[in-house]
Amino acid sequence: MKNVIIHNITRRNFLKKTGILAASATILGCKETKSTQQKRYAMVIDLEKCIGCHSCSISCKTQFDVPLGVFRSWVKIIERGSYPAVKRIFIPVLCNHCDDPPCVKGCPTGATYQRADGIVVVNPDDCIGCKYCIQNCPYNARFLHPITKTASKCDFCLHRIKQGITPSCVNTCIGQARTFGDYNDPQSSISQILLQNNSQVLLEAMGTNPRVFYINLDQNAYTTGKTLLWHNDFIRLHD
């Protein structure tokens, strides 16, 4: 009899305790997942809304005091056709903060690294200025800073994000073509826009998984007419 009671109690207790443990673990696990879900910053640019005013380029220049001749963010302009059937396409270009960034792989000192939130940054104190990351970037988004002699590029205005402000190019875009936010949050405006529109990325075949998305992007416009010139800021090329 004693043995049976002990057996029953043990089994009941065991099941009860296991049940409580499992339930609490599930609740805690869910809470944990929700609270620590990693942010993944991204940007979406609606090219239908871009009017090519270059205010993003200028705001970026002033924000970071970027020297002449080099850009963290700029607008590529493509003109197609012959008069009167002509078309002008604006493609704002910046670092794509790729999921698989070739610049991070190539950096010999680890000066270029990817943060947990996906932003690819350069630590100028560790950069030796070998320019290998510049060679590795398929989007030509990097440059050698003429003053600091280190690699430089867009960092999604990290200092502003830390204070809860949007990047300066997003802030200044008069057509509101740019949207910035957390890609992992399904309620964020960027997720909603990406859900409601067909989006593209630049040079998808490179397999770098860029996190700057474009709406209404003409891939051919981006890849054709690439400049081959060395010394002029804006030069028209005729194929």
Partner 1 sequence: MNPTSTYDIIHFVYWDYHIVLNLFLSGIGIGTFIFAAIIGLIYDDSEHEAVNRVGAIISPITIILGAIFLFTDLGHPFRAWKIYTDINFSSPISWGGWATVILIIISSIYAVLPKNYYRTRQTLAISGIPIAFITGLSHGLLLSTVKANPIWFSGPSTVLAMTEFITTGIGAVVLALSLSKGAKLNLSSIEKSRNILGSAIIIHIFTLFLWITTNVFGYFHMKEALLVLNSKFGLIFWVGAVFIGLIMPLILGGYAVKNEEKTGTIKTIFPLLTSIFVLIGGFIHQYVWIIGGQLY
Q: Residue-wise over 70-88: b if at least 16 C-beta within 10 A, else e?
A: ebbbbbbeeeeeeeeeeee
Interaction mask 136-175, partner 1, x per CB under 8 A: xxxxx--xx---xxx-------------------------
Query: Of 43 and 107, which has the nearer Cβ to partner 1?
Result: 107
Of 127, 64, 130, 132, residue with least CA distance to 94: 64
Interaction mask 29-48, partner 1, x per CB under 8 A: --------------------
Determine which residue in the list 12, 16, 31, 87 makes contact with partner 1, applying CB under 8 A.
Answer: 87
Q: Does 83 bind partner 1 (CB under 8 A)?
A: no
Cα angle: 179, vertex 185, 186; to 5 degrees: 90
Query: Of 176 and 224, which has the nearer Cβ to partner 1?
Result: 224
Of 175, 169, 128, 172, residue with least CA distance to 151: 128
DSSP state of 37: P
Contacts of 112 (CB under 8 A, 6+ apart): 101, 103, 104, 106, 120, 121, 122, 123, 127, 133, 151
Residue numbers 195-224 binding partner 1 by CB under 8 A? 206, 208, 221, 223-224
**Shortest Å distance, C-beta 78 to partner 1:** 5
Q: Which of the stretches 1-9, 114-122, 182-190, 231-239 binds partner 1 when contact is defined by CB under 8 A?
A: 231-239
Q: Does 130 bind partner 1 (CB under 8 A)?
A: yes
Q: Does 105 bind partner 1 (CB under 8 A)?
A: yes
Query: Of 47 and 190, which has the nearer Cβ to partner 1?
Result: 47
Element holding 121 (H helix, E strand): strand 120-122
Contacts of 70 (CB under 8 A, 6+ apart): 143, 144, 145, 146, 152
- Contact residues toward partner 1 (CB under 8 A) are 69-71, 74, 76-82, 85-87, 102, 105-111, 126-132, 134-140, 143-144, 148-150, 206, 208, 221, 223-239
